[in-house]
Amino acid sequence: MPDIAVRLGREVLVVDGAMGTMLQRAGIPPEQPGIQLNLIAPEVVADVHRSYVLVGADCVTTNTFGGSRPKLAQHGLEGMLEELNRAGVRLARESGAQHVLADVGPTGLVMEPLGNATFDEVYAHFFQQVRALAAESPDAILIETMTDIAEARCAVLAARDACDLPVFVTVTFGRGGVMDLSGTPPEAAAAILESAGAAAVGINCGLGPAEMLPLVERMAGATALPIVVQPNAGIPRVEGGATVFPGTADEMGAFAAEFVRAGASLVGSCCGSTPAFTGAIVDAAKRLPVAPRTGRGPGVALASPRRTLAIGGGRRIAVIGERINPTGKKALAESLREGSMALVRQYAAEQAAAGADALDVNVGAAGVDARDALSSAVLALVGSCDLPLVLDNTDPEALETALKRYPGRALINSVNGGEASMEAILPLARRYGAAVLVLALDDAGIPHDAEGRVRIVERVRQRAREAGLSDDDLLVDCLVLAAAAEPGSAVPTLEALRAVKSLGLATVLGVSNVSHGLPGRSTLNAAFAAMAAAAGLDAAIVNPGDEEVIRALAAAEVLLGRDERAARWTAIHAVPADPVAQAQERSVEARLAECIERGDADGAPALVERLIASGWAPGDVIGQVLTPAIQRLGDAYGRGEVFLPQLIAAADAMKAAVETAKRHLPPGEGLAAGRVAFGTVKGDVHSIGKDICISMLESQGFVVDDLGVDVPPERFADAALSADVVCASALMTTTLPAMEETVQAVAKTGTPVLVGGAVVTAEYAASIGAGYAADAPGCVQAVRAAVAAESGDARKEDRP
Q: What is the pLDDT of residues 413-435, one digit of tens each?
A: 999 999 999 999 999 999 999 99
pLDDT for the residue numbered 566? 87
- Classify burial at 466, counting beta carbons within 10 Å of its beta carbon; exposed 0-12, middle 13-18, buried 19 or more: exposed
Q: What is the mean pLDDT of the chain?
A: 93
The contacts of residue 44 (CB under 8 Å, 6+ apart) are: 23, 26, 28, 37
Percentage of the residues of the chain whose pLDDT score is greater than 90: 82
pLDDT band at residue 114 using 50, 70 and 90 as cut-offs: confident
Instruction: Read off the DSSP letter of residue 301.
Output: E
Asked whether 218 and 191 are in contact (CB, 8 A), the reply is no
* Dihedral sign (CA 756, 759, 764, 769): negative
Calculate the CA 374 to chain-centre distance: 19
Which one, of 441, 509, 503, lies nearest residue 472 by Cα? 503
pLDDT for the residue numbered 441? 98
* pLDDT tens digit sequence for 346-363: 999 999 999 999 999 999
Q: What mean pLDDT do residues 529-550 have? A: 97
Which one, of 204, 187, 53, 67, lies nearest residue 131 by Cα? 67
Distances (CA, A) of 177 to 113, 407, 773: 21, 19, 21
Greater confidence (393 vs 581) lies with: 393
pLDDT band at residue 582 using 50, 70 and 90 as cut-offs: low
Q: What mean pLDDT do residues 549-566 have? A: 92
Determine which of 294-303, 436-445, 717-726 has the lowest per-residue pLDDT on average.
294-303
pLDDT for the residue numbered 795? 44
Reply yes or no on whether the pLDDT at 185 is more than 50: yes
pLDDT for the residue numbered 574? 73
pLDDT for the residue numbered 75? 94
Compute the distance between CA of residue 580 and CA of residue 593 in angstroms, rounded to an integer: 17
pTM: 0.91
Compute the distance between CA of residue 72 and CA of residue 371 in angstroms, rounded to an integer: 34
Reply yes or no on whether the pLDDT at 799 is more than 90: no
Which one, of 576, 577, 610, lies nearest residue 591 by Cα? 610
* pLDDT tens digit sequence for 662-694: 899 887 666 678 999 999 999 887 787 888 899
Reply yes or no on whether the pLDDT at 445 is more than 60: yes
pLDDT for the residue numbered 581? 53
pLDDT for the residue numbered 687? 80
Which residue blocks in 433-489 are alpha helix, DSSP H? 450-466
Asked whether 362 and 325 are in contact (CB, 8 A), the reply is yes
700, amino acid identity: Q
pLDDT for the residue numbered 797? 44
Compute the distance between CA of residue 266 and CA of residue 703 in angstroms, rounded to an integer: 49
pLDDT for the residue numbered 758? 79
Compute the distance between CA of residue 596 and CA of residue 634 in angstroms, rounded to an integer: 12
Calculate the CA 243 to chain-centre distance: 29
pLDDT for the residue numbered 798? 45
Compute the distance between CA of residue 331 and CA of residue 346 in angstroms, rounded to an integer: 12
* pLDDT tens digit sequence for 131-183: 999 999 999 999 999 999 999 999 999 999 999 999 999 999 998 999 999 99
Asked whether 692 and 648 are in contact (CB, 8 A), the reply is yes
pLDDT band at residue 491 using 50, 70 and 90 as cut-offs: very high
pLDDT band at residue 237 using 50, 70 and 90 as cut-offs: confident
pLDDT for the residue numbered 670? 61
Helix (H, G, I), strand (E, B) or coil at 321: strand
Compute the distance between CA of residue 507 and CA of residue 685 in angstroms, rounded to an integer: 49
Compute the distance between CA of residue 80 and CA of residue 67 in angstroms, rounded to an integer: 10
Percentage of the residues of the chain whose pLDDT score is greater than 70: 97
Greater confidence (675 vs 31) lies with: 675
pLDDT band at residue 51 using 50, 70 and 90 as cut-offs: very high
pLDDT for the residue numbered 637? 86
* pLDDT tens digit sequence for 59-105: 999 999 999 999 999 999 999 999 999 999 999 999 999 999 999 99
Q: In terms of residues, how long is the chain?
A: 800
Determine which of 34-48, 380-394, 472-486, 574-588 has the lowest per-residue pLDDT on average.
574-588
729, amino acid identity: S
Which one, of 538, 535, 543, 539, lies nearest residue 515 by Cα? 543
Compute the distance between CA of residue 283 and CA of residue 280 in angstroms, rounded to an integer: 5
Which residue blocks in 338-395 are alpha helix, DSSP H? 342-353, 370-382
Compute the distance between CA of residue 449 and CA of residue 496 in angstroms, rounded to an integer: 8
Reply yes or no on whether the pLDDT at 543 is more than 50: yes
Q: What mean pLDDT do residues 28-38 have? A: 94
The contacts of residue 211 (CB under 8 Å, 6+ apart) are: 175, 231, 235
215, amino acid identity: L
Reply yes or no on whether the pLDDT at 642 is more than 90: no
Pairing of strands 725-729, 753-756: parallel
Compute the distance between CA of residue 540 and CA of residue 553 in angstroms, rounded to an integer: 9
pLDDT for the residue numbered 711? 95
pLDDT for the residue numbered 699? 87
- What is the C-alpha radius of gyration for the chain, rounded to an integer number of angstroms? 28
Q: What is the 3-state secondary structure (H, E, C) of 87-141?
A: HHHHHHHCCCCCEEEEEECCCCCCECCCCCECHHHHHHHHHHHHHHHHCCCCCEE
